[in-house]
Every structure is written in structure tokens, then in C-alpha cells.
């Protein structure tokens, strides 16, 4: 039993240790092995007869490493099955493009897909119903809302793996140094970031910035901008009843405000940043505040982190309303085109099991979807904010992926491009959102 681990999204290429030449090695009594015996042993150990299950997984932070670990756990316990892990692009949009290539070809190369919380409605036709493969026995352990999100026409197209919500990371040492409190509004964050940035640069750190976040034109910007708008009483882009509400004064106000951060409390390059770009600046000790997902917590506590022991997390700031965090998270779906659907479903259910979710929570700060783990002492010791910010995760704001399916990807692309045009100074928010409203009408028919 062995595990092929090193794979890239450009191809399924397994890496393993070189085989020893059995004919040159003595047996345990010092005698040379008989060539016929060696052939027999080769045949007995030949992994070519194993069922191979390929899992397409993310590689942001510790995702890939922990998926490899869980895959190895499964392989060691299930003789005749080996699990390969396919490394996919970090950006959700690029990953979706890769998946669509596999689906278009009805390829059997990938058996299990890590799918975004926003994709079940758009991709359901490509996945089997996990209720036919034992999921009925375990879905009651998961958050009901997340299970419901993965149900399409009564079929469970994905088993919840981990959930997410946007958080504010802040430097406790610098807040104390400048006699500031953790910001509760975006205006307070602006002021605190400006004060700390000015002070740290005056102290000799010319690279220091006040606030880093995800401003590139991709799904991550949809998440950030939805948090701004929802927290400023500007709606959810498209409401659950299908009403397009994004073109309103509160949304215009907060997006114009965010555009003012670019080149002031945030670097000019923030309009090209994704999660890992922001984390690199933050973890290098060069930012006072960061918006990111929970995965960055354990990495920020690493021994090589410049912010180890001097940061904390909280709910994101609010505008004129209440704080809002975009609901994120990932599920595992089993491809209809797999040649080993039953084995693939068993792998998916194991990866999403309580044992694996607990391991991923403790070692990588990945939020479980299994409710009991938020009361687990070992999990809470490793990631204390899972308890204190529980309400943030259970009340996160959903993107309009269900109501706009199967056009959500077009909806989100139109939204983040409109917001990005404001951040880069190409348009003002009023004009951008007015045009966006018309685009969304064309896309959805609402």
C-alpha cells in the first residue's frame, strides 16, 4: 500500500521512491533471492491492480498537505485502494475552469472534486447523489444549512468538508502601542490603519501598510465586496426572491469608501491581491489589519511568522448596519464519470468524517461542518476563536448562487468586475452599479 502524492493540475503524474533491485539484494538469511521468487514478489506487490481514486483538492495554506495526510490515512486502512491528490489552482475561478474541462470531456481522470459552496447548483449534473452511497447516515452531524446548500432537487451532490467566513485579523501589540481599540466599524478601521501605518513608517518600516485584503478581479473580491455592502445595509446583490438590489445608495457609499483605501491604508497592489498575497504581507509583519479566512490563523502562529503571539481575530467591521461575513467553504462531490463511483464515495465520506475534520481543524484551523467539533476541547484549545466567533460562522451571508443558478458564475464575474473598475479608478461606484444592474438583468432575466 502506498500513496502517490505529488501531482499538478497539468497532469496526473505520480511520484514515488525508486524500486530496489530484488535480484541484487540478499534475503534475510544472506542468500540471493531466486529470480522466479522475485518475479512472484513483484506481481504480488504490483500496485497496478489497486483501485486508484483521484481527489482534486485546493492548495491554499495547508490545504494540500492536510488532504495528502487524510488520503494516506485512508489508503493505509483500505487495502487495494490508493488515493492520489490532484493539486488545483488557488483562485476559485481558475479551478472552476479546470473542472469544466474535465466535465466537458466526461473525463474519468478525477473521481472526487473539492467544490466551492457556490457551485452545487451550477455543477449538480456532473455529480452522483451521495444519499445513494451512505451519506444519509452522517449528514445529521453537519450544519443543516450547509447540507441544504448541497442538495439539488433532493439529491446530495456534495458532502460538507469545511466551512468559512471572512474574519478581521489585527495586531494586538500595535493597537496597544498606539492606544487603539479593535475597530468595530469600517470608519474606525480606516482611522486605526492610518495611525498605525504612519507611526510604523516613521519608525523606519517603509513597507508597512494599514490594511490588506483580496482586491483582485476574482471570486475573492465578490466575497470582500459583499461583506462591505451587506454591512452597510446595501443588500446581497440579488435577494433570495430574485430581486436585483445592488444598485442602491448604501452600496455606492461603501464601495466608494473601499476605493479610497487603495493607495492610502492599502497598497496600490491590493487590486491584484488574493488570499495568499495578503497573508504574505501580514505574516511578514507588514500590516496592521488583514481580511482573510480562518485558515490563515494557524499559519500566522507558525514559528517563522513575524506576528506569532501578537495578533487576534474578530468579526469584520460594520458600516451603517451589522457586521457581515461572506459564507465560504468547500464540499466534496463524486464525479458521475468516475470508473469507481462506490470507492470514490467512500473516500469522500471519509475525508469529510469527524476524525478528519478534527485533524484539519487542529492542524490547519479549517472550520468543521460537524457541529459537535465546536465543543471539542482539543479543537478549542488549538483554535480558540471557533468558540468565541461561532455566531459569525453560523450566520454568514450567502452569495446569490442558489437563486441565480446556473448563471451564478456570470453574476459573480459581472459583480467583481464592476467593483474592480471602481477600485482601480476607472469608474465611480454610482455609474458602475447602475451598469451592473442592467447586466444582471440580462444575465438572469430577473
Interacting residues of 68 by C-beta distance below 8 A, sequence separation 6+: 3, 5, 85
- Confidence label for 268 from pLDDT (cuts 50, 70 and 90): very high
More confident residue, 29 or 252: 252
Percent of the chain's residues with pLDDT above 90: 85
Helix axes 92-104, 219-231, angle to 10 degrees: 130
As a CATH number, domain 166-326+400-444 is: 3.40.190.10
For the cut 80, the answer to whether the pLDDT of residue 439 exceeds it is: yes
pLDDT of residue 42: 41
Compute the CA torsion angle 164, 418, 99, 157 (nearest 10 deg): 50
User: Are the folds of 22-157+328-394 and 166-326+400-444 the same?
Assistant: yes
What is the per-residue pLDDT across 216-241, written as a single tens digit (0 to 9) for each?
A: 999 999 999 999 999 999 999 999 99
pLDDT at residue 26 greater than cutoff 90:
no
Greater confidence, 1 or 52?
Answer: 52
pLDDT for 25 equals 37
pLDDT-derived band at 93, boundaries 50, 70, 90: confident
Given a cut of 90, whether residue 6 has pLDDT beyond it is: no
Among 207, 224, 329, smallest CA distance to 275 is for 224
Domain boundaries 22-157+328-394, corresponding CATH code: 3.40.190.10
> What's the pLDDT score for residue 15?
32
pLDDT at 249 over 50: yes
pLDDT digits (tens, 9 = 90+) for 334-355: 999 999 999 999 999 999 999 9
Lowest mean pLDDT across 15-24, 39-48, 139-148: 15-24
Nearest to 158 by CA among 329, 5, 365: 329
pLDDT value at residue 48: 60
For the stretch 358-417, pLDDT in tens is 999 999 999 999 999 999 999 999 999 999 999 999 899 999 998 998 899 999 999 999
327-334 vs 287-292, strand pairing mode: unpaired
pLDDT, tens digit (0-9, with 9 covering 90-100), for 280-339: 999 999 999 999 999 999 999 999 999 999 999 999 999 999 999 999 999 999 999 999
- pLDDT category of residue 185 using cuts at 50, 70 and 90: very high
Residue 274 predicted with pLDDT over 70? yes
User: Residue 154's pLDDT is what?
Assistant: 95
- Between 12 and 256, name the one with better pLDDT: 256
Please, what's the largest Cα pairwise distance for the chain? 85
User: Residues with Cβ < 8 Å from 376, sequence gap 6 or more?
Assistant: 358
- Listed by start position, the domains of the chain span 22-157+328-394, 166-326+400-444
pLDDT at 182 over 90: yes
Listed in sequence order, the DSSP H helices in 330-428 are: 341-351, 354-364, 377-382, 385-388, 390-394, 401-404, 408-423
Q: How far apart are CA 312 and CA 242, in angstroms?
A: 38
Amino acid at each position: 500500500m502506498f500513496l502517490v502524492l505529488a501531482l499538478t493540475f497539468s497532469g496526473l503524474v505520480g511520484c514515488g521512491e525508486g524500486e530496489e533491485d530484488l535480484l541484487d539484494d540478499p534475503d534475510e538469511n544472506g542468500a540471493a533471492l531466486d529470480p522466479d521468487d522475485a518475479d512472484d514478489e513483484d506481481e504480488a506487490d504490483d500496485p497496478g491492480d489497486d483501485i486508484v481514486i483521484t481527489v482534486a483538492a485546493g492548495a491554499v495554506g495547508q490545504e494540500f498537505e492536510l488532504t495528502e495526510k487524510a488520503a494516506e490515512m485512508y489508503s493505509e486502512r483500505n487495502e487495494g485502494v490508493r488515493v492520489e491528490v490532484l493539486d488545483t489552482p488557488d483562485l476559485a475561478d481558475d479551478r472552476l475552469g479546470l473542472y469544466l474541462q474535465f466535465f466537458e470531456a466526461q473525463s474519468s481522470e478525477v473521481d472526487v472534486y473539492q467544490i466551492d459552496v457556490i457551485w452545487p447548483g451550477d455543477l449538480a449534473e456532473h455529480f452522483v447523489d451521495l444519499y445513494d452511497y451512505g451519506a444519509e447516515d452522517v449528514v445529521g452531524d453537519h450544519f443543516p444549512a450547509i447540507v441544504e446548500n448541497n442538495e439539488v432537487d433532493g439529491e446530495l451532490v456534495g458532502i460538507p468538508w469545511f466551512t468559512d467566513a471572512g474574519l478581521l485579523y489585527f495586531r494586538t501589540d500595535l493597537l496597544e502601542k498606539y492606544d487603539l481599540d479593535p475597530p468595530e466599524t469600517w470608519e474606525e478601521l480606516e482611522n486605526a490603519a492610518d495611525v498605525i501605518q504612519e507611526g510604523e513608517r516613521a519608525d523606519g518600516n517603509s513597507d508597512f501598510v494599514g490594511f490588506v485584503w483580496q482586491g483582485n478581479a476574482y471570486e475573492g473580491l465578490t466575497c470582500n465586496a459583499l461583506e462591505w455592502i451587506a454591512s452597510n445595509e446595501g443588500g446581497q446583490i440579488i435577494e433570495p426572491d430574485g430581486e436585483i438590489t445592488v444598485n442602491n445608495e448604501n452600496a455606492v457609499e461603501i464601495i466608494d469608501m473601499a476605493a479610497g483605501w487603495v493607495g492610502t491604508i492599502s497598497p496600490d497592489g491590493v487590486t491584484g491581491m488574493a488570499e495568499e498575497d495578503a497573508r504574505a504581507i501580514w505574516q511578514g509583519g507588514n500590516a496592521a489589519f488583514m481580511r482573510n479566512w480562518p485558515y490563515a490563523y494557524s499559519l500566522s502562529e507558525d514559528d517563522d511568522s513575524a506576528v506569532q503571539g501578537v495578533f487576534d481575530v474578530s468579526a469584520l467591521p460594520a458600516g451603517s448596519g451589522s457586521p457581515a461575513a461572506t459564507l465560504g467553504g468547500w464540499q466534496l462531490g463524486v464525479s458521475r464519470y468516475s470508473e469507481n463511483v462506490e470507492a470514490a464515495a467512500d473516500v469522500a465520506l471519509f475525508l469529510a468524517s469527524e476524525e478528519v475534520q478534527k485533524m484539519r481543524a487542529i492542524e490547519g484551523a479549517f472550520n468543521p461542518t460537524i457541529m459537535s467539533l465546536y465543543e471539542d476541547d482539543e479543537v478549542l484549545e488549538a483554535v480558540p476563536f471557533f468558540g468565541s466567533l461561532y455566531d459569525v460562522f453560523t450566520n454568514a451571508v450567502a452569495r446569490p448562487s442558489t437563486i441565480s443558478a446556473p448563471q451564478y458564475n456570470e453574476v459573480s464575474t459581472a459583480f467583481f468586475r464592476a467593483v474592480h473598475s471602481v477600485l482601480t479608478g476607472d469608474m465611480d461606484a454610482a455609474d458602475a452599479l447602475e451598469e451592473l444592474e442592467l447586466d444582471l438583468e440580462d444575465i438572469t432575466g430577473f
